[in-house]
Amino acid sequence: MTGGSAMNARRSLWIPWALGGIFLVFLIANGVMVYFAGRSWTGLETESAYEKGLAYNDTIAAAEAQAALGWRVDVEAGVAGVSEAWIEVRLEDREGRPIAARQVWARLARPTSEGHDREAALTAVGAGRYRGVFDLSLPGQWDLRVRIEHAGGVYRTSRRVFLNSDG
């Protein structure tokens, strides 16, 4: 080996180290992403996703039948005290007359984490109005789902509400 070719061989020794370093950087970056992905998972998932997908046409038909009723469903939610939330549902037909339902259920679901959902039957308080009180474990945004059982079937509605005990 001549002096020039020995010098070229020494100069190119960094190439394998550079390639190894690049792979090491990718490995560390992927490890960091896997760590944060595992720590940030809220545990939320759709239960019975396959069955819900198969029943999609039934869901559309039920929504169309619900719209044909012409009902007006007003839902209000607020905070009572430090750790309680109240929900009131008012039901009226298309002429503005109060509707008497067999049963009205409300469910508060936390959109960002599991384990905080609340569900209860609402009590009739007269003139198509139903009311319930829930334990408010955390302030913030909640998905409020209302299920109304009536003579013609089931009516459903949902809202995103913000419940904060600070007022």
What are 11-43's pLDDT values in tens digits? 788 888 999 999 999 999 999 999 988 887 766
d(CA 104, CA 73): 12
Asked if pLDDT for residue 81 goes beyond 80, the answer is no
Provide the whole-model pTM.
0.65
d(CA 162, CA 76): 11
| Residue range(s) defining the domain that contains residue 11 | 3-40
Per-residue confidence (pLDDT) for residue 136, from 0 to 100: 82
Q: Across residues 38-52, what is the average pLDDT?
A: 75
Per-residue confidence (pLDDT) for residue 146, from 0 to 100: 93
Query: Whose structure tokens read 């408010």?
Result: 136
In a shared domain, residues 82 and 136? yes
Residue 3 pLDDT grade (very low, low, confident, very high; cuts 50, 70, 90): low
Q: Across residues 87-98, what is the average pLDDT?
A: 90
Asked if 144 and 69 touch (Cβ cutoff 8 Å), the reply is no
Per-residue confidence (pLDDT) for residue 113, from 0 to 100: 76
DSSP letter (8 states) at residue 84: E
Query: Whose structure tokens read 């198509």?
Result: 128
In a shared domain, residues 77 and 116? yes
In a shared domain, residues 130 and 98? yes
Average pLDDT, the chain: 85
In a shared domain, residues 110 and 34? no
In a shared domain, residues 31 and 58? no
In a shared domain, residues 20 and 97? no
